[in-house]
Amino acid sequence: MTFHRYVALGDSFTEGVGDPDASRPNGLRGWADRVAEVLATQEPDFTYANLAIRGRKLLGVLEEQLEPALALSPDLVTVYAGANDILRPRVDLDTLVEAYDAGLARLAATGARLLVWTAFDPGGSAIYRPMRGRFALYNELVREAADRHGATIVDYWRLREYRDWRLWDTDRMHMGPAGHQRMAVEVLDLLGVPHSLAPLPLVEDVPRSRVAQTREHADWARTFAAPWVHRRLTGRSSGDTVSPRYPGPTRIGPPPA
């Protein structure tokens, strides 16, 4: 299967946060770029747009990115949204996914191949595990919406290898390069697109003492968790000054050798 116009919508997950590349817009690569690089090898006229912006909640994604995406007449659309809502102290998931469902209906009506994600399973994380039930409910609502509109589901919840922290960035909130590569493989496989992407090598998992682990947790809380909480309390977002990486149709090169 080949595609000519791919548009990616979402938040930091799709923007590529956690997968640094100084040569690219916003200094990021990410799984969506990795997918686009493979698709570009199959069609000479292939273009790619990535409208995702870190920190965006689901309604923000719909309000800011839906109309621009429709205007690009894509034949492939990926949408990941909702994680930033789930992590808030309060969220009405039923109302939220009703709006999501309406947005997916408009995207599906274009005839484009549509991919949506469930949220990951936080059961392996002491930090996020208390919200596991909320994640599971969100997933069921998203699955229902995807079924209604013929969307393909990328079932993040069932990708158990993501319980390995070596697939994650040091901020423990975003995938690292190995995690983005694994997600690109999952997307291409679901699309039925031939590719040669292979898992990236992981660093050796060296056992650490309890004292070392406690120190790591404290460093993480100070460096990443505290700033995140402060932004929530002050009504700010990490994406307030960020623009979409590829706001219009862009020709992207093949995967780096």
To the nearest whole number, what is the mean pLDDT of the chain?
Answer: 91
What does the pLDDT average to over 148-163? 96
**What pLDDT digit, counting tens, does each position of 190-207 carry?**
999 999 999 999 987 777
Domain co-membership, 54 together with 170: yes
Of the residues 150, 180, 199, the one at which a domain ends: 199
**Residue 44 within any structural domain of the chain:** yes
Question: Strand ranges (DSSP E) for the chain?
Answer: 5-10, 47-50, 76-80, 113-117, 152-154, 246-250
Quote the pLDDT of residue 106: 98
Enter the tokens of residue 24.
């690219």
* pLDDT of 159 strictly over 80: yes
**Which DSSP letter does residue 252 get?**
-
Bin 165: left if φ > 0, else alpha if -120 < ψ < 50, else beta.
Answer: alpha
Full domain range(s) for residue 230: 209-239
Q: CA triplet 169, 173, 176: central angle to 5 degrees?
A: 25
Quote the pLDDT of residue 229: 64
Domain co-membership, 194 together with 216: no
Tell me which of 126 and 76 has the higher pLDDT. Answer: 76
Q: Give the model's confidence band at 84: pLDDT under 50 very low, under 70 low, under 90 confident, else very high.
A: very high
* pLDDT of 187 strictly over 80: yes
- Residues 6 or more apart from 182 whose CB is under 8 A from it? 159, 161, 162, 167, 175, 199
Domain co-membership, 138 together with 233: no
Place of tokens 């100070």: 222
What does the pLDDT average to over 48-76? 97
> Which residue in 63, 51, 56, 82 sits closest to 145, CA to CA?
82
- Residues 6 or more apart from 245 whose CB is under 8 A from it? 15, 16, 24, 25, 26, 28, 50, 52
What does the pLDDT average to over 11-31? 97
Q: Give the model's confidence band at 170: pLDDT under 50 very low, under 70 low, under 90 confident, else very high.
A: confident
Bin 182: left if φ > 0, else alpha if -120 < ψ < 50, else beta.
Answer: alpha
What does the pLDDT average to over 237-249? 88
Least confident of 48-52, 126-130, 196-200: 126-130
Of the residues 169, 199, 229, the one at which a domain ends: 199
Quote the pLDDT of residue 231: 66
* pLDDT of 2 strictly over 80: yes
Quote the pLDDT of residue 137: 97
Domain co-membership, 74 together with 108: yes
Quote the pLDDT of residue 56: 95
Domain co-membership, 188 together with 87: yes
Count of domains in the chain? 2
Quote the pLDDT of residue 155: 97
Q: Give the model's confidence band at 220: pLDDT under 50 very low, under 70 low, under 90 confident, else very high.
A: low
What does the pLDDT average to over 83-109? 95
**Residue 247 within any structural domain of the chain:** no
pLDDT above 90: percentage of residues in the chain: 74
Three-state DSSP at 246 gives strand
Laid out side by side, the sheet with 47-50 consists of 152-154, 113-117, 76-80, 5-10, 47-50, 246-250
* pLDDT of 232 strictly over 70: no
Tell me which of 178 and 127 has the higher pLDDT. Answer: 178
* pLDDT of 169 strictly over 70: yes
Domain co-membership, 103 together with 39: yes
Quote the pLDDT of residue 217: 63
Q: Give the model's confidence band at 80: pLDDT under 50 very low, under 70 low, under 90 confident, else very high.
A: very high
Q: Which helix (H) or strand (E) holds 138?
A: helix 132-148
Domain co-membership, 191 together with 218: no
Nearest-angstrom CA–CA distance, 145 and 22 = 37
Domain co-membership, 76 together with 157: yes
Domain co-membership, 221 together with 126: no
Domain co-membership, 45 together with 67: yes
**Residue 204 within any structural domain of the chain:** no
Quote the pLDDT of residue 39: 97
What does the pLDDT average to over 138-156? 98
Which residue(s) pair with 50 in the sheet? Answer: 8, 246
**Which DSSP letter does residue 134 get?**
H
